[in-house]
């Protein structure tokens, strides 16, 4: 992702690389000359970068997933001092997927059985993906519930009939798949599938750089890609 972000910045005339570093390397002593930090690392890295951004008045764009409560708390704290754009997926297409899933959930009503399947390469660390979790959260919000209450992240044995309102979540891992997410809405006699397939990591990098340019001129606060895209 680091290389993809650098290349994406090179495609634009309104951004330039101020520096690049791994999360294990020492952060710069100050934020001088840096408007925005783009983070694609690990939960620990995201937490450290959020704290650095808050201390140095630098906006933050983070696409890191798998954050636990302590990591998220650092990102939330940073948003009180600087602009923070946080999204499990920076792709324009994925954010369209969220919107379409939101609309489909509302239109099809409680009678639809909803399942989410996500597929990624064999090296991905977290499961389900942050994108799949956000997709489930979007659907749950429309149904006025939460993913914690309605999500089913695994089935085995004599599970009995599917409970009404359940949101199923399945994770597949293998090969070199960049990322694929499908929300299926099962109805009597028909089903609707909404799928996004990523074939190039450049889409995430371009979205992140777009978010960085947008965040550079924004007031402190917590923002999502929907804000960047104006939806």
Q: Which are the catalytic amino acids?
A: 120, 124
Which ranges in the chain belong to alpha helices (H)?
2-10, 43-56, 69-78, 92-108, 130-142, 147-150, 202-215, 225-229
Residues contacting residue 102 through CB under 8 Å, at least 6 positions apart = 138, 139, 141, 142
* Residue 175 burial (10 A CB sphere; 0-12, 13-18, 19+): exposed
Q: Count CB-CB contacts under 10 A for residue 217.
A: 9
Greatest CA separation for the chain:
62
């Amino acid at each position: 992702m680091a290389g993809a972000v650098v290349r994406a910045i090179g495609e634009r005339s309104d951004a330039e690389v101020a520096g690049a570093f791994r999360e294990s390397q020492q952060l710069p002593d100050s934020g001088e000359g840096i408007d925005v930090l783009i983070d694609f690392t690990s939960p620990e890295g995201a937490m450290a970068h959020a704290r650095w951004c808050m201390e140095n008045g630098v906006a933050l764009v983070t696409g890191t997933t798998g954050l636990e409560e302590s990591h998220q708390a650092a990102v939330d704290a940073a948003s009180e001092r600087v602009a923070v754009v946080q999204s499990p997926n920076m792709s324009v297409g994925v954010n369209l997927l969220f919107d379409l899933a939101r609309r489909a959930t509302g239109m099809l009503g409680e009678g639809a059985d909803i399942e989410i399947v996500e597929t990624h390469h064999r090296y991905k660390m977290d499961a389900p993906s942050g994108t799949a979790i956000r997709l489930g959260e979007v659907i749950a919000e429309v149904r006025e519930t939460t993913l914690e209450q309605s999500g089913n992240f695994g089935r085995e044995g004599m599970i009995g009939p599917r409970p009404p309102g359940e949101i199923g979540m399945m994770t597949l891992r293998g090969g070199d798949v960049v990322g694929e997410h499908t929300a299926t809405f099962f109805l009597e006699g028909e089903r609707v599938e909404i799928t996004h397939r990523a074939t190039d990591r450049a889409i995430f990098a371009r979205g992140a750089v777009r978010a960085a340019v947008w965040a550079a001129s924004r007031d402190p606060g917590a923002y999502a890609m929907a804000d960047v895209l104006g939806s």
